[in-house]
Amino acid sequence: MSGLRLTISDLSSGHGQIRVLRDISFSVAEGEVSAIVGANGAGKTTLLSTIAGLIRPTGGRIVLGDRDITRLPAHVLPGLGLALVPEGGRLFPFMSVQDNLQLGAYGAVSRRESASRMEELIAIFPILGERRTQLAGRLSGGERQMCAVARALMSRPRFLMLDEPSVGLSPLMTEKVLDTVTALARRETLGVVIVEQRVTEALEVADTAHVLDHGRIVQSDRAEVLRNDRRIQETYMGL
């Protein structure tokens, strides 16, 4: 796949003195959906938090296009084309849906572009238009996840990272959210990294996939290949 790439090289990080990630390397291109799968405690959330600037890496590089963003603070990254949807969405519950969406554009796009972008996203997520003035805390689980994804997309990122988008959602709603995101990846040439415990669902929508185990990537391939790998099926898919 050609175009801009987000490239992770020999990345290590952790929490305090606890080393969680060791020598992680992978890349994702614009228009590509890449899944990071693994069990609880494998280091998936730490990985996204490190790429997003929320955790300082102890080694390695993170490069967006031709720019090294390894040690840039989290708040500047949306303006450079990288956005994160954290686990659970982390909306502001006592603010309206519209206000939550507007926060996603802060510092990244102009006010005029923000208004235009909001209308584009409401066309993609029509339920958010219906709930525009409603407090975000009153949304259903699926609606909250859609709002969190739309908020991240307000900055017009080139790469979108989603941390456990299925948490708290039914299998049907998980499928709907993932299908919407992957359709956006094709439509907007958006690179997507999905971290997910529901391995079956993640491998169904991804182009490429990486298996994270105890802080290391132990297997990488096309998602279709991993989906049909008997060891992956037995270990992570319950088949």
User: Across 19-28, 109-118, 230-239, which has the greatest mean pLDDT?
Assistant: 19-28
For residue 99, pLDDT over 80 is answered with yes
For residue 160, pLDDT over 80 is answered with yes
Pick from 154, 158, 135, 207: nearest CA to 178: 207
pLDDT recorded at residue 166: 85
CB-based burial, 175-201: b 16+ in 10 Å, e otherwise:
bebbebbbebbeebebbbbbbbbbbbb
Q: Give per-residue pLDDT as tens, 195-216.
A: 988 888 889 999 999 999 999 9
Length of the chain: 239
Say if residues 186 and 32 touch (Cβ distance below 8 Å): no
**Residue 170, token pair as written in the block:** 């039914």
Q: What is the mean pLDDT of the chain?
A: 89
Position 115 confidence tier, pLDDT thresholds 50, 70, 90: confident
- Mean pLDDT, rounded, for 213-239: 86
For residue 151, list its beta bridge partners: none
pLDDT recorded at residue 107: 61
The amino acid present at 192, given as its one-letter code, is: V
- Mean pLDDT, rounded, for 220-238: 85
The amino acid present at 211, given as its one-letter code, is: V
Indicate the pairing of strand 59-64 with strand 5-15: antiparallel
For residue 108, pLDDT over 50 is answered with yes
pLDDT recorded at residue 109: 62
Q: Strand order in 59-64's β-sheet?
A: 18-29, 5-15, 59-64, 67-68
**pLDDT top residue among 141 and 112:** 141
CATH no. of 5-236:
3.40.50.300
Instruction: Find all residues with CB under 8 Å of 96, minimum gap 6, and list them.
Output: 132, 133, 134, 135, 136
Say if residues 207 and 49 touch (Cβ distance below 8 Å): no
Query: Can you give the residue ranges of every domain in the chain?
Result: 5-236
Q: Cite the beta strand spans of 74-158 per DSSP E.
A: 82-85
pLDDT recorded at residue 113: 75
- Mean pLDDT, rounded, for 97-110: 78
For residue 239, pLDDT over 60 is answered with no
For residue 238, pLDDT over 80 is answered with no
Say if residues 75 and 133 touch (Cβ distance below 8 Å): no
- Mean pLDDT, rounded, for 126-155: 90
